[in-house]
Amino acid sequence: MSRIAVLPNAEALHEEAATRLRESALTAVRERGRFAVALSGGSSPKGVYEALGKLEGVPWEGVHLFWGDERCVPPDHPDSNFGMAWAALSLDLPHEQVHRMRGELGPEAGAAHYASELEVFFDGPVVFDLVHLGLGPDGHVASLFPGQPTLEATEPVVSSFPNEGLSPQVARISLSLPTIGAARAVQFLVTGEAKASVAARALEGDPRLPASRVAGERVSWLLDEAAARGLSL
Ligand code: 6PG
């Protein structure tokens, strides 16, 4: 059963998510010497990364930043998930701690490059300490879209293309469901009334939604009150 927390508004959710990430990082660095987190793309997490960049007490010396998915655009492109998070964090982290997906390489080459980056870093099973996920209007997570064969992929990183109607209509690189599912913790960040119905369906386990396949003890949902409107809590 996934755990759910409802925050009064998006700003409160941003602060809560940033604080929770700091606590997870402190524990991971204390216990394992490093903290590997996969950041989310989309617009919802931007406020979280802005809050995180300003937060005191984050053990940045042990933090390794990864991404859950990326659009196949250069890192300085307005649609880049790396670009969004990096600008929001506005940190000065050594480049060896910043593991961005190379969207500019294209879907297949970018996915292969990231798979080897994960292999080198984890040197064994790919187990993130934390994976942040947004929730697409169609229930997609990272760049894993409803009805697509990538949902059944077993390799750690896949390439995909969004279903019609989703923007941006560019190829993607994404962690696979098994990689997301293997993480020590997964956290959904969901804000706004527009997500209320799909969030409720995902939490009820609607099998048509990729988000429904990310569930269990290690999964938590942070929603603001607007996004939680559809939940029968
Ligand atoms: C992406 C994201 C995607 C995102 C959802 C929600 O690259 O688009 O990783 O999975 O999290 O589409 O996006 P919003 O937060 O913008 O609604």
Q: What is the mean pLDDT of residues 6-18?
A: 98
Question: Is the pLDDT reported for residue 166 higher than 80?
Answer: yes
Q: Determine the distance separating the centroid of ligand 1 and the alpha carbon of 217, expressed in angstroms.
A: 23
Q: How confident is the model at residue 220 (pLDDT cuts 50, 70, 90)?
A: very high
| DSSP labels, 117-185 | HHHHHHSSS---SEEEE---TTS-BTTB-TT-GGGG--SSEEEE-PPTT-SS-S-EEEE-HHHHHTSS-
Q: For residue range 18-49, what is the model confidence (pLDDT) as tens digits?
A: 999 999 999 999 999 999 999 999 999 999 99
β-pair type (63-67, 35-39)? parallel
Cis peptide before 168 (omega within 30 of 0): yes
**Mean pLDDT score, 148-172:** 96
Over residues 80-107, mean pLDDT: 98
What is the rounded average pLDDT of the residues 191-198?
98
Looking at residue 232, what is its pLDDT?
78
Mean pLDDT of 65-82: 98
Share of the chain above pLDDT 90, in %: 97
The pLDDT mean for the chain works out to 97
- Ligand 1 atom closest to the Cα of residue 190 is 15
Mean pLDDT, residues 57-61 taken together: 98
At 50, which amino acid appears?
A: E
Mean pLDDT of 97-116: 98
42 ligand 1 Cβ < 6 A: yes
**Interval between CA 62 and ligand 1 midpoint (Å):** 27
Determine whether the shortest distance from the Cβ of 159 to ligand 1 is under 6 A: no
CA–centroid distance, residue 42 to ligand 1 (Å):
3
Tell me the pairing of strands 172-175 and 157-160: antiparallel
- Could you tell me if 68 and 38 are in contact, meaning their C-beta atoms sit under 8 angstroms apart? yes
Closest ligand 1 atom, residue 195 Cα: 17
Average pLDDT over residues 127-131: 98
Instruction: Tell the residue number behind the tokens 């910043």, with chain if given.
Output: 98
**pLDDT score at 233:** 66
> Does residue 103 line the site of ligand 1, with CB under 6 A?
no
189 in contact with ligand 1, CB cutoff 6 A: no
173: number of Cβ within 10 Å: 31
Read off the pLDDT of residues 202-212 as tens digits, 9 standing for 90 and up. 999 999 999 99
Whole-angstrom distance, CA of residue 188 vs CA of residue 183: 13
Residue 197 CB less than 6 A away from ligand 1: no
Specify the pLDDT at position 37: 98
Closest CA to 222 of 42, 33, 48, 38: 48
154 exposure class (CB count in 10 Å sphere: 0-12, 13-18, 19+): exposed
